[in-house]
Structure 1
Amino acid sequence: MSEPRARDLGVPFDGTPGEWNAITDVPGVLVGYETLIAGEPHEASVARTGVTAILPRGRDDAGVPCAAGVYSMNGNGELTGRSWIEESGTLALPIALTNSHAVGAAHTGVDRWVHREHPELSAEWMLPVVGETWDGYLNQINAGHVRPEHAIAAIDAAASGPIAEGNVGGGTGMNCYGFKGGSGTASRVVDHGGDRYTVGVFLQANFGTRHELRLVGRPLGRDSAAANPYEEVEWFVRDGERARARAGAGSVIGVVVTDAPLLPGQCAALARRVPLGLARTGTSGSHFSGDIFLACSTANPGAFTSSMPTAGPGSDDYETSRFVPWGHIDPLYEAVVQATEEAVANVLVAARDMVGRDGHFSPALPHDEVRRAFRAD
């Protein structure tokens, strides 16, 4: 029996999801995890972390550029490769998500995977996209658990179809709204004339304060009976002043992929809509949360290239791209907002209780509280 998701608990959402209600509904998109759970809470080195890999064009077509854009709602976080996306409007390599202190290891892992599988790409230069959120409440974040080979394993494991959520991959040790957080996804189908496109959202969710949480307008966080040790001061004092984490801190990385044909500027506009979906779940965007979003389009393969030329331009040395007119882009915006809201809910429903370093405990969102909140519907 598959694990329940937010819809299974009676939460109603707007819009039409794809077959798996996941970012993998977008044709060609693959997602893989390497989950690292090791050590008992009393031991010196406890791992509650991992790596998530998202391949917008799969393995064989890694290196084929996608139109892409980024947006930072709050910059207390990291997304490598962002300057090149802003410069060229393109994304071409697998995306990796991990913890805040493992960005370098994941970056090296993507480099090594590309060199192994596509040496013609690594002969020029590589600027992988690696995003992070902080898992230091549950994970010994300075222990160096994540190594390049873990990022390689996540890429090798990437697959289509329904994907795991909650305590997996880069989301393994994350917290969200004072509950156990992690990895989550959702999708929406959009009609444009006679064509049908899919918008998929993937979140590594590690943000929000307990009292803020709402699902479809219902204030679940402030009324929850679940313990909330993440936001209690005792562990701050015990760990020392320099180890403090503020309620609402931690970050969220959002990845949007669509097969709708878009320009880079339109992708950036989609990325700017992710915070609207997050806001539906209650967050006001903490100063201590790095909230960074990436969107890309897998349409127009062969366009938006940037390879070093071997000769001067010919008479027909041009690229063309087909794109949705700006005046008809609103349904895609709506899809991003709807899928983002549901992805947050799926994170919280999928995540399970976890005990990490020094006995730190993160409780899952109680399913019975969710069912009770929507029973009247």
Structure 2
Amino acid sequence: MTDDELTARRARDLGIVVGALPTGVHNALTDVPGVRVGHTTIVDPPRLHTGVTAIVPDALGPDRRSLPCGLFVGNGFGKLIGATQVAELGALETPILLTATLSAFRAADALVTYVLASPGHETTRTLNPVVGETNDGRLSDIRARPVTEAHVLAALDGATPGAVAEGCVGAGTGTMALAFKGGIGTSSRLVGDWTVGALVQSNFSGTLTVRGVPIPADDGAVPAGTDRPGTGGPEPEGNSCMIVVATDAPLDARQLGRVARRAVFAMGRVGSDFTGGSGDYALAFSTPGAASAEGVPRAAEVADGDLDPLFAATMDAVEEALLNSVLTATTTVGHRGTATAVPHELVLRRLRDAGVLAAGRPGQPWAAGPAS
């Protein structure tokens, strides 16, 4: 099977399995009940490769003005709009938007427009929009700030349950990660009756590591002369990662902060070098269960001593989402450089050589070594 035939395949399509926990039906953030995802992609090559990704919790509405939410800042070199109020109150009042750095402020204004027009907000006079970003300024003309209110509203209104587009889409259209083309990735895990889902916008440096096996771009994985962030080539203006975790486990904001911390930790599994210029953030929110469907605030029902399975699910889901973000991305010739897609055959060959995957054909069941 050629590299072209392997284009835009997810980790599990290639036989790369992270952890032992089962995934949800779509192996996506949307496996968490009541969570939808929408994208608006803006492409005008080579100048523009950018967009918006919207995470919409259906529970926010006339009967529920906020959801418990935790935040962890791995490194604060970023512009996460709304972060201080989330940290202070442990509450998420709006959908979460992801976009490019210099478009975050217009996106926040558009998000306010969207929420103020929603039922139940006829008299609202204060609101905390939450917008995350990474810098796509190498592949897109970030100074043009092409994201408009119409783009934001389209992502919000177009948010759907089910399968989620990944790679060069929405807020991941122009990102670069681990010396390759980055993008949007998602994954989920089931923990008993609960679901944990993750979605990432990857745009950070380091050495791509797949189930413990390094895939360095300076070892023939990227053609000579190509931009290779983190490998001695030109560095992008911002090396960042936005991670959003959702769960239907009944956790309070403090516990969700602990979940968010593990989400950032998972970046180390795929080879992040956590540079000083990287804005690494994780938001984790909990959707209401049936018992609180009428908007009655919930007390935490999970004891701290019982959080370990949710921590494990979070780290596995984030790790796989990060791998999906690069494995599904495609080579992009951009505004000031080129980002090369991860060569799938090279990854699989190195995993087989390391004894992580047994010989087989992509798309069919693989004999795998111990789960990471």
TM-score by length of 1: 0.85
User: After the TM superposition, which of the residue ranges 92-101 and 1-10 deviates more from structure 2?
Assistant: 1-10
Match of 1:120, SS state, is coil
Aligned residue in 1 for 2:350: 373
User: After the TM superposition, which of the residue ranges 7-16 and 67-76 deviates more from structure 2?
Assistant: 7-16
- Alignment-mate amino acid for residue 319 of structure 2: E
Contact 2:186 2:199 in 1 (8 A): yes
- Residue deviations 1:49-76 (CA, integer Å, cap 9, x gap): 0000001236756953211110101000
Match of 1:117, SS state, is coil
Distance 1:114 1:320 in 2: 23
Aligned residue in 2 for 1:311: none
Equivalence map 1:176-187=2 (5 Å) = 176-187=177-188
- Going from structure 1 to structure 2, the CA distance change for 1:73 and 1:121 (only over 3 Å counts) comes to farther
- Going from structure 1 to structure 2, the CA distance change for 1:341 and 1:233 (only over 3 Å counts) comes to closer
Distance 1:64 1:232 in 2: 42
- Going from structure 1 to structure 2, the CA distance change for 1:58 and 1:181 (only over 3 Å counts) comes to farther
- Going from structure 1 to structure 2, the CA distance change for 1:262 and 1:119 (only over 3 Å counts) comes to closer
Equivalence map 1:74-89=2 (5 Å) = 74-89=75-90
- Going from structure 1 to structure 2, the CA distance change for 1:319 and 1:110 (only over 3 Å counts) comes to closer
Aligned residue in 2 for 1:216: 211
Distance 2:29 2:62 in 1: 18
Contact 2:36 2:159 in 1 (8 A): yes
Equivalence map 1:26-45=2 (5 Å) = 26-38=32-44, 40-41=45-46
Contact 1:66 1:297 in 2 (8 A): yes
- Going from structure 1 to structure 2, the CA distance change for 1:277 and 1:62 (only over 3 Å counts) comes to farther
Contact 1:114 1:122 in 2 (8 A): no
| Structure 2 stretches lacking a partner, 5+ long | 359-372
Aligned residue in 1 for 2:315: 337
| Structure 1 stretches lacking a partner, 5+ long | 237-243, 306-317
Aligned residue in 1 for 2:361: none
Equivalence map 1:206-285=2 (5 Å) = 206-209=203-206, 212-222=207-217, 223-227=219-223, 228-231=226-229, 245=236, 249-285=238-274
Deviation at 1:267?
0.4
Aligned length: 344
- Residue deviations 1:141-169 (CA, integer Å, cap 9, x gap): 00121112211110011000011000000
Distance 2:195 2:230 in 1: 41
Contact 2:60 2:66 in 1 (8 A): no
Contact 1:107 1:148 in 2 (8 A): no
TM-score by length of 2: 0.86
Match of 1:260, SS state, is coil
Distance 2:124 2:84 in 1: 21
Aligned residue in 1 for 2:301: 323
Identity %: 38
Aligned residue in 2 for 1:51: 52
Distance 1:55 1:27 in 2: 11
